[in-house]
Structure 1
Amino acid sequence: MIFAINIVRGEVMKNKTCKNYKKKTLILFLLFLFLLFGCMNGHSNNELEKQPTSKGKLTIGAKDFTEQSLLLTITSVYLRENGYEVETVSNMSSPDLRSALVDDNIDFYWEYTGTALTLHLNEKGENDPETAYKKVKGLDKENDIVWLEKSEFNNTYAILVREEFSKKHGITTVSDLADYIKNGGELKLASEKEFYKREDGLKRLEEAYDFDLSSDQVIGLDYNLTYKALEDKRADAIVGFVTDGSIHNLNIVALEDDQSFFPAYNVAPVVRKEVIEKFNDLPELLNNIAERLDNETIRTLNYQVDIEHANTLEVSRNWLKEEELID
């Protein structure tokens, strides 16, 4: 009888011990979860504290050629590094880009003084860079468009010839080329089609330098094909730009515009007035880029992308690092 009672008592004690063990285990498990989620929450809060607050969102536009793509990428990387959210819109024509700015669809883009004067404002282009800049800045002020500091690089038109052609005929200026044509010299000129339509286009160039090319002497090509035509000797001269990267790659001579025919085309950030008022540090940031750009710099960057086929983002970041604008 006593033995039976002891067995029952033992079972009861065993059950109590088991229940106590489970209870303790549950408490320890809940305590573990509490500590775990507490640590995770603390870590999450610390991470949020470390995240920089965005200064705001900017939409930047660009035209449809390498130089503009570089300016867009350089600017977007730099502004992101300085706390801005950036959206980019690229491959736009000059008129569409200007309309996007005026209609508040973009906040700013890089524009050329000569393009703004002749194409957007229907004004006469200016040969002197400072005169062109002051003129366009004053006119656009009435449109609530702010021109920040212009860069030293002047992407104006140029008449380009092969070095061997220049040496053979003693041609180093556009006046030399005009004399060569008037004296019966054989010449084929390749040009992109827009040059025919512009105020500072082919017909005005002929008038300024007093020469005339027949339709058989002019080859209309897409811009990217004009250099190939010069290299293959299908053309003796082409209409190009001073900052083209291909000048580095080919033995090309840019003829001196000795009559100062071509207007200045210095580039500058063009920003809506309300954007400047909203983001006080934006002018200083954009001017940091503009003041570091000159003809040789942009020509080298164009060369790396167009001729060496380097990645635009990589080229842009490398330049920003070299200029100590980013780490």
Structure 2
Amino acid sequence: MTTTTPPTRTGTRRRRWGASLALLGVGLVAACGLQPATAYTPESAPGLIEEIPDLPEGASITVTGKNFTEQLILGKMVVIALQAAGFTVTDLTNVPGSVPVRELMLSGEADVTIEYTGTAWLTYLGQEEGIPDQQEQWEAVRDADAENGLTWLPPAPLNNTYAFAVRAEAVEELGGISTLSDITELPVEDRTFCVEAEFNSRADGLGPMLETYGIPRGASDGVPDDNIRIFDTGAVYTATDRGTCNFGEVFTTDGRIDSLDLVVLEDDLGYFPAYNGAAVVSTETLETYPQLEEILTMLSDELTDERMRELNLRVDEGGEMPADVAFDFMLELGLVTEP
């Protein structure tokens, strides 16, 4: 098993990242006359997540995360949890892109993030194929990243991977379909797919998936090319809901699955790689504050696909702030309390 070599931890790298992030914050303030969105976090008090006893006064920790809805919510959950535990938290969530977040973790500029096992395995560690088994994928990433000074805590049930969904009212019309294998039993004219351009052409996309399930792509007795429609990401969900196709490519934690009443089909042959979310902590930081494992595991244990879809939808369609959605979720579970 090969791993990438972590960047050199130099003062120059630290200064460059610190300056870049500081300028980003200044730019946001100057442009809007307001604080950056990431600066806002509701005040909270300990609940099931208790304040760490004998924590040194002013103990600080830095949290980072990416800038799409799910990551903004998850990042704020971690910020809230660690504040309730007594830390002074520096909030570096809302970073544009996966690679910059990875660099912050490797360089020591950040201590904690929520990352996806499949992303780390394929993008950061350079492996060619993902591992569908969720536990095996997490163990492989955990072992590989230990060499990079990062510790992967136990994964959440949340698995933000690819899937195919069908509109609920068509399930019975299609013979009570529930798995991808069931597609093989359908007439050719019912094997219609809506997908993104990238998924349509990528090496681990639609073609290999159909091959795995024994459905020849392009063949008159499989999935003819005319049965495949290409859309932008958001339009795939709408087209599937409208019946433009029977099967739409989705992400398993996307809130539109619920709002459009789509039914996710089981990947019963385990084609799609696992993308479980898990807390990743600087090993050095974890050795200093071993209580972090219990705190972050307590949070991740509550994160499922279904709950994440609800939370994402509140931001994407409800217009709520990720920090408020994160706080409400943790308050409801008793992980934190109101001050």
If the TM-score is normalised by the length of the shorter chain, which range does it land in?
A: 0.7 to 0.9
Whole-Å separation in 1 of the counterparts to 2:138 and 2:202: 19
Give yes or no for contact 2:70–2:308 (8 Å, CA) kept in 1.
yes
Change (3 A) 1:229 1:265: same
Find the partner of 1:271 among 281, 295, 299: 281
How far did residue 205 of structure 1 move? Answer: 0.6
Whole-Å separation in 1 of the counterparts to 2:93 and 2:225: 38
**Which position in structure 1 is the counterpart of 2:300?**
290
Give yes or no for contact 2:159–2:305 (8 Å, CA) kept in 1.
yes
Q: TM-score with structure 2 length normalisation?
A: 0.72
Whole-Å separation in 1 of the counterparts to 2:115 and 2:131: 15
Whole-Å separation in 1 of the counterparts to 2:290 and 2:59: 10
Matches within 5 A, 1:24-173: 53-62=57-66, 64-82=67-85, 83-123=87-127, 124-170=129-175, 171-173=177-179
Unaligned stretches of 5+ residues in structure 2: 1-55, 218-222
Runs of 4 or more, structure 1, over 6 Å off, are none
Give yes or no for contact 2:315–2:321 (8 Å, CA) kept in 1.
yes
Q: TM-score with structure 1 length normalisation?
A: 0.74
Whole-Å separation in 1 of the counterparts to 2:133 and 2:191: 30
**Which position in structure 2 is the counterpart of 1:32?**
none
Amino acid at match of 2:158: F
Change (3 A) 1:313 1:272: same
**Which position in structure 2 is the counterpart of 1:221?**
231
Secondary structure at 1:169 match in 2: coil
How far did residue 78 of structure 1 move? Answer: 2.0
How far did residue 194 of structure 1 move? Answer: 4.3
Whole-Å separation in 2 of the counterparts to 1:300 and 1:132: 26
How far did residue 72 of structure 1 move? Answer: 0.9
Kindly provide the CA deviation profile for residues 7-45 of structure 1, in whole angstroms up to 9, marking residues without a partner as x.
xxxxxxxxxxxxxxxxxxxxxxxxxxxxxxxxxxxxxxx
Structure 2 residue 261 is the aligned partner of structure 1 residue 257: no
Structure 2 residue 320 is the aligned partner of structure 1 residue 310: yes
Amino acid at match of 1:56: S
How far did residue 247 of structure 1 move? Answer: 2.2
Give yes or no for contact 1:79–1:86 (8 Å, CA) kept in 2.
no
How far did residue 317 of structure 1 move? Answer: 1.0
**Which position in structure 1 is the counterpart of 2:50?**
none
Give yes or no for contact 2:160–2:253 (8 Å, CA) kept in 1.
yes
Amino acid at match of 1:54: G
Higher mean alpha-carbon deviation, 316-325 vs 75-84, is at 75-84
Aligned length: 273
Change (3 A) 1:70 1:234: same
Amino acid at match of 2:125: L
**Which position in structure 2 is the counterpart of 1:15?**
none
Amino acid at match of 2:267: D
Give yes or no for contact 2:61–2:111 (8 Å, CA) kept in 1.
no
Identity %: 32
How far did residue 56 of structure 1 move? Answer: 1.0
Unaligned stretches of 5+ residues in structure 1: 1-51
Greater gyration radius: 1
Change (3 A) 1:99 1:163: same
How far did residue 267 of structure 1 move? Answer: 1.0
Whole-Å separation in 1 of the counterparts to 2:165 and 2:71: 21
**Which position in structure 1 is the counterpart of 2:11?**
none
Amino acid at match of 1:93: G
Secondary structure at 1:159 match in 2: strand
